[in-house]
C-alpha cells in the first residue's frame, strides 16, 4: 500500500519567517495531494490541495509544490503568523487517504 513520509515532525519559526514541510510518497499512481491543518482540540481541515497535472498551486500565503518524478511534494507558508501554529498533515488520496505523521508548527511572536 501507499506510504507517506513527512518531515520535520516539529518546526519552530519566528513570526514573519517562512516555513517548509516536505513529504514523499511511494505509489507512483497517486494523483491527488491534500494538506490539512489541525488546530488544538479540533479535527483536521483542508487548507490546500494539488493534482498531479499541476506543479505548483498558491493561495495567499500558502503554496504547495509537486514533483511527480521524485514523488515528493511540499507545503510552503510565507510571512508566518501566530495563528499558523498548528499540526499540518500531508496526504495522498484516491479512494483511501494515507496521511503523513504530521508536523507541529510553532510560530514564535
Partner 1 sequence: NAGVTQTPKFQVLKTGQSMTLQCAQDMNHEYMSWYRQDPGMGLRLIHYSVGAGITDQGEIPNGYNVSRSTTEDFPLRLLSAAPSQTSVYFCASRVTSGYNEQFFGPGTRLTVL
Instruction: Give residues in contact with partner 1 (CB under 8 A).
Output: 1, 6, 9, 31-32, 34, 41-46, 49, 51, 89, 93-102
Determine contact, residues 3/60, Cβ cutoff 8 Å.
no
**Nearest in space to 52 (alpha carbons), one of 31, 25, 33, 73:** 31
- Of 33 and 85, which CB lies nearer to partner 1 in the complex structure? 33
Considering the complex, what minimum distance in angstroms separates the CB of residue 99 from partner 1? Answer: 4
Considering the complex, what minimum distance in angstroms separates the CB of residue 65 from partner 1? Answer: 18
DSSP H or E segment with residue 26: none
Considering the complex, what minimum distance in angstroms separates the CB of residue 68 from partner 1? Answer: 15
Determine contact, residues 77/17, Cβ cutoff 8 Å.
no
Amino acid at each position: 500500500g501507499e506510504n507517506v513520509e513527512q518531515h520535520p515532525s516539529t518546526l519552530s519559526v519566528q513570526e514573519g519567517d517562512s516555513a517548509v514541510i516536505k513529504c514523499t510518497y511511494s505509489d507512483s499512481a497517486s494523483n491527488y495531494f491534500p494538506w490539512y491543518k489541525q488546530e488544538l482540540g479540533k479535527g483536521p481541515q483542508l487548507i490546500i490541495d494539488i493534482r498531479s497535472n499541476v506543479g505548483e498551486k498558491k493561495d495567499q500565503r500558502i503554496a504547495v509544490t509537486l514533483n511527480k518524478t521524485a514523488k515528493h511534494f511540499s507545503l510552503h507558508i510565507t510571512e508566518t503568523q501566530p495563528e499558523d501554529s498548528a499540526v499540518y498533515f500531508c496526504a495522498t488520496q484516491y479512494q483511501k487517504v494515507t496521511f503523513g505523521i504530521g508536523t507541529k508548527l510553532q510560530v514564535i511572536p
